Structure 1
């Protein structure tokens, strides 16, 4: 069943989504070589709780952490651990919060220090594919229009692998609602989009093949060929004419830029 949100509910969801964005900005401020992903997770959880919210992911279907933190060839759902991140890594952080009865959900892939040019392009194309998908998230279109826009740009134009096993989703009082929002598909297919539908659009794009495998923890998804993967996600509300993006990358990108400038002497 698809639940449409009232204007008041959308504003509550915006508050949740923007708190996720601020949490990711906090992560951007502290990220540096030598940190562990467990340290990042603890910092994010402290920030969320201090803002009178609850981490959406913690204990969700048994997931034991606040953030999904996926490094290099880990696509999504990575378990935070004690392995230090290093210069040249890419780190995808996916986080959700529950506040005022609604969830917010967003993800961002960070570059640690100096990364290879082909990895920079992967990050850029994945982020661009997200916004191309959002452009199609307007009333009157269908889910497949979003899916096609992402796949066409990432897979057909740039020859990357678009993950099939994991998809975007509806969002609201529950973390995962209908409809599912794949990152691949045919234009004009799938559920029709109506004003007030809130969804999480989240391209998961591999530099190499689209196939993935699961680690023994049952959660961490990795690329089959060991090449890097990127993941960006926004919570958006379908509107007439133009989607309303409830989360934001502005604070994250500003923090990321400041952190890079501050640590440039390190590299």
Structure 2
């Protein structure tokens, strides 16, 4: 009975440990609670080049009044373990003032100005002449803490969002449009953790323009794998102690009757 009680206590301790670790992981992954609307107030203008890109934090919504044919740029910081989704909406001029359909495109570049592929989303869409708006989206691959020099993997640093029209009737160039852009970031955690880390984030030439994550750059050394590794080591130790007590208890010689 003593051995059974011991193993039961060890099992309960292990269950409590995993529950605590799971709660810690959930807290890390969840991050700050979003606002009720899900869209925090952001900048009301956009840059027209990489160098003049307007800073945008994940969770903020940026707006800009522009002309058809303009290139609009925003820049946001993404740290290791983040998977970002960029959504854009372009409110078009009244159909009566337009001469035909238009095609719009949303691109995302890293700090080295390498265009990043979208995992999914519609980054190029056509708007009919009668359409009032067009919506685009791009979900990036998860940002890695480090990568080989020849790889095009997304790395921590500044990411540039560019929105523009690809195809439009020449008569419609210069018509006013209103753009809305929002970036959402989801923390993936240890599932994509790698050994090593980038010495410095891929920031813009002017770091003050790009900003940095609210908690600062993590540098890629931390992931929730540390929690599970520690939990696994402790459970292994508890299992060893339990096994030792069990074998010790069953190996004792039984007493003869009347001894």
Q: Which has the higher strand share?
A: 2
* Fold match (TM-score > 0.5): no
Q: Which has the higher helix share?
A: 1
TM-score interval, normalised by the smaller of the two chains: under 0.3
- Structure exhibiting the larger radius of gyration computed from Cα positions: 2
